[in-house]
């Protein structure tokens, strides 16, 4: 498969979001309360994870620190706050220096209370090892002593179970979507912050192959496959979005504009731009004049479910009720959003019963192409989510090499939101259709 090259092309499209919206940590609930963050330097020994080249003595590569420090955008997350664009954004927001502003550091650095930091911990390390893997003081001294010390032992001592799609999704979406303590608001985006872009499977591959270097090896037959990781990311990102809306609705008043689809407002005034010539009914469009929520992940979940024969009316109705309440009846918004989240849980449970063999992957790919041809990905954000899912499925079907030119066209077209053309997007997807090329 051509996965590495494909992901690196997507990285060039998404580099601003990768550098400006990086994940901190969503640690396991049983992290010891006295666990400390030892800092990236604690992993840097050449006998640990600081080797200049991959080694074969253990299951890990042992050069992960070098890969992170030299090739992974996470390592430059803090330094981004010192550049001209960040200074300009901070001045517009009147928050003081970006590298000291809590709302910036929340995702651009590993910010923990002083009592939980060892002397080697440095905020300037950016998004470092423990941002994702968890505070290491309890498991660092012994985590290499397998089989005497098991993976379960390390998890009990605070290591994050990133091999589990749900844990990885919670970790990444904390910043790539937002949570109760960090959120790229409409004000931040108006000041210059990029629109958030995230897909767990795609970005997981970007992280795994940072700069063309492997951050970790895949263990054959161990762990979830790509479609499962993809679905976990779509569900968790949608949950995070609904949680953000719920938090804002609970405060009363209108939700922050950042939870709505950018192109609800940022478009021209032709009737066609507002869906006046859309050939089919859009199940998530809402009533005329309503601001549409950020719904790219939700749209993909609906298409995936329908392609696999899973009912979606419950979730679709709950989503549109929540959207309508936010637009028209703020007093009902909190209850309506809670209803949408409950419907999402039910949809996720139904999807969890599905098998992901070749036939299912082909059905979902075909469903996404049909949805795109029916104009159900109406703006760049939704189209981008669909494109990442489609290319993942092409790789799973071993068709990505044969469609290299079309994949390049697809991501080139999505590079500029202002140049997005729904008709052209649909045409490229028709060319990607699996029925035109069969695996050898």
Residues 334, 250 share a domain: yes
Q: Give the CA radius of gyration of the chain.
A: 22
With beta carbons less than 8 A apart as the criterion, state whether 191 and 89 touch: yes
pLDDT tens for each residue of 389-411? 999 999 999 988 888 888 998 88
Q: Is residue 192 assigned to a domain?
A: yes
pLDDT tens for each residue of 151-180? 999 999 999 999 999 999 999 999 999 998
Q: Is residue 146 assigned to a domain?
A: no
Mean pLDDT of the chain: 85
Residues 278, 389 share a domain: yes
Residues 187, 72 share a domain: yes
CA-nearest of 261, 262, 268 to 284 is 261
Secondary structure class of 117 (helix, strand, coil): strand
Q: Is residue 293 assigned to a domain?
A: yes
Residue ending a domain, choose from 162, 177, 212: 212
Measure the CA–CA gap between 174 and 168, rounded to whole angstroms: 10
Residues 170, 103 share a domain: yes
Averaged pLDDT for residues 193-222? 83
Residues 256, 165 share a domain: no
Q: Is residue 53 assigned to a domain?
A: yes
Secondary structure class of 76 (helix, strand, coil): helix
Residues 136, 58 share a domain: yes
Q: Is the pLDDT of residue 258 over 60?
A: yes
User: What is the span of the domain harbouring residue 236?
Assistant: 226-436
Residues 245, 162 share a domain: no
Residues 379, 302 share a domain: yes
Q: Is residue 238 assigned to a domain?
A: yes
Residues 240, 189 share a domain: no
Specify the number of domains making up the chain: 2
Both tokens of residue 102?
């809590």
Q: Is residue 77 assigned to a domain?
A: yes
| C-alpha distance from residue 373 to each of 188, 202, 430 (Å) | 34, 23, 8
Both tokens of residue 402?
């044969």
| C-alpha distance from residue 1 to each of 328, 362, 365, 368 (Å) | 48, 17, 17, 21
Averaged pLDDT for residues 72-84? 94
Residues 235, 167 share a domain: no
Residue ending a domain, choose from 170, 187, 212: 212
Min mean pLDDT across 25-39, 95-109, 218-232 is at 25-39
| Apex 370 CA angle, 369 and 371, nearest 5 | 90
* Per-residue pLDDT at 178: 93
Alpha carbon distance, N-terminus to C-terminus of the chain: 13
The DSSP element (H or E) to which 116 belongs, if any, is none
Q: Is residue 96 assigned to a domain?
A: yes
pTM for this predicted structure: 0.87
Residues 240, 199 share a domain: no
With beta carbons less than 8 A apart as the criterion, state whether 133 and 118 touch: no
Q: Is the pLDDT of residue 18 over 60?
A: no
Residue ending a domain, choose from 163, 187, 212: 212
10 Å Cβ neighbour count for 331?
A: 9
Q: Is residue 338 assigned to a domain?
A: yes
Of the pLDDT bands very low, low, confident and very high (cuts 50, 70, 90), residue 342 is very high
Residues 256, 197 share a domain: no
Both tokens of residue 112?
């923990």
Measure the CA–CA gap between 128 and 89, rounded to whole angstroms: 24
The length of the chain, given as a count of residues: 440
Chain centre to alpha carbon of residue 60 = 25
Averaged pLDDT for residues 41-69? 89
């Amino acid at each position: 498969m051509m996965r590495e090259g494909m992901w690196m092309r997507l990285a060039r499209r998404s580099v601003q979001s990768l550098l400006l919206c990086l994940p901190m940590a969503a640690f396991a609930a049983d992290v010891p309360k006295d666990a400390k963050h030892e800092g990236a330097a604690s992993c840097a020994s050449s006998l640990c994870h600081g080797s200049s080249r991959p080694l074969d003595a253990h299951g890990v590569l042992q050069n992960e620190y070098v890969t992170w420090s030299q090739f992974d955008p996470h390592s430059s997350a803090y330094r981004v706050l010192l550049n001209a664009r960040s200074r300009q954004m901070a001045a517009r927001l009147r928050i003081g220096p970006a590298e000291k502003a809590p709302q910036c550091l929340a995702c651009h650095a590993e910010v923990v209370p002083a009592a939980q930091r060892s002397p080697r911990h440095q905020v300037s390390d950016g998004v470092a090892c423990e941002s994702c893997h968890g505070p290491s003081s309890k498991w660092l001294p012994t985590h290499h002593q397998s089989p005497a010390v098991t993976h379960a032992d390390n998890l009990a001592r605070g290591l994050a179970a990133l091999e589990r799609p749900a844990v990885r999704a919670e970790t990444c979406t904390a910043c790539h979507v937002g949570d109760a303590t960090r959120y790229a608001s409409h004000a931040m985006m108006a000041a210059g912050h990029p629109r958030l872009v995230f897909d767990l499977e795609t970005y997981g591959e970007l992280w795994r192959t940072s700069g063309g270097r492997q951050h970790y090896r895949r263990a054959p037959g161990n762990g979830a496959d790509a479609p499962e990781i993809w679905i976990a990311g779509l569900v968790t990102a949608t949950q995070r979005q609904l949680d953000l809306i719920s938090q804002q609705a609970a405060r009363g008043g209108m939700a922050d504009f950042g939870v709505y689809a950018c192109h609800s407002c940022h478009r021209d005034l032709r009737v066609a731009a507002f869906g006046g010539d859309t050939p089919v009914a859009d199940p998530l469009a809402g009533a005329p004049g309503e601001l549409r929520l950020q719904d790219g992940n939700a749209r993909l979940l609906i298409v995936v479910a329908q392609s696999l024969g899973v009912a979606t009316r419950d979730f679709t109705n709950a989503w549109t009720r929540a959207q309508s309440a936010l637009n028209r009846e703020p007093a009902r918004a909190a209850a309506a959003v809670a209803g949408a989240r409950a419907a999402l849980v039910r949809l996720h449970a139904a999807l969890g019963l599905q098998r992901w063999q070749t036939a299912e992957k082909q059905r979902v790919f075909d469903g996404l192409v049909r949805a795109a041809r029916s104009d159900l990905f109406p703006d760049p954000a939704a189209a981008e989510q669909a494109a990442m899912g489609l290319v993942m499925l092409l790789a799973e079907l071993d068709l990505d090499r044969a469609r290299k030119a079309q994949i390049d066209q697809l991501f080139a077209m999505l590079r500029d939101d202002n140049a997005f053309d729904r008709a052209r997007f649909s045409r490229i997807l028709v060319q990607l259709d699996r029925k035109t090329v069969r695996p050898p």
